[in-house]
Amino acid sequence: MSKVVDVVEILKKSEALLEGHFLLSSGKHSNRYVQCAKVLRYPQYAEAVLSTVVDQIKGLDIDLVVGPAMGGVIVSYELGRQLNKETVFTERKDGVMELRRGFEVKPGAKIIIAEDVVTTGKSTIETKEALEKLGGEVIGVACIANRTSHDIGMPIYSAIKLDIEVHDADECPLCKEGSIELVKPGSREFKEIGM
């Protein structure tokens, strides 16, 4: 039985994807804001959204799913559950991404990295390097949202390719247009707009 999953609808319903006019921590403004942890609050939504990624990778030869903490942990678990594969996570120790807690990579193990969102790919690439040092072979990254605009050196399998317009504050078209109030995600004002 094939099922149709409306990823955008689920992300909006769970408030993981917001549309409007947002002040980012960088000081820049954007028209969309994504917080994947919000969709992972609901296991049934996590299952549905990530089933669309599983459809893309289930034919691959995978031994291990590895999610860098924090963002990748739940994604990794859910992918591993659906694929029936071992799932572990890496974490930072003194700023360095490492596999800890007695987790192991068998020599030549085919690994999928799991992330909530891939933007610059920096942490994904760090994770890949850490796993390859241990003898694993990273075959790609699976994520909820792919925000990259460049090649990160491995295939990206995502539930959604997300384009978010980011502008410098003094060049923001939403400010110029003036009809949508600027809000800071997570702030009190933000909650008051009732999304």
Instruction: Determine the Cα–Cα distance for residues 170 and 176; give it in Å rounded to an integer.
Output: 9
Please, which residues bridge with residue 146 across strands? Answer: 118, 161
Note whether 23 binds Zn ion by CB under 5 A: no
Instruction: Report in angstroms how near the CB of residue 164 gets to Zn ion at its nearest.
Output: 13
Using the minimum distance from each CB to Zn ion, give the nearer residue, 9 or 171.
171
CB of 170 to Zn ion, least distance (A): 9
Burial 66-88 (b: 16+ CB within 10 A, else e): bbbeebbbbbbbbbbbbbebebb
Q: Which stretch binds Zn ion (CB under 5 A): 21-29, 45-53, 60-68, 74-82?
A: 21-29
Judged by CB under 5 A, the number of residues near Zn ion is 4
Among 29, 77, 79, 99, binds Zn ion (CB under 5 A): 29
Alpha helices in 84-168 (DSSP H): 122-133
Subset of residues 116 to 175 that bind Zn ion, contact rule: CB under 5 A: 172, 174-175
Q: Which positions lie near Zn ion, rule CB under 5 A?
A: 29, 172, 174-175
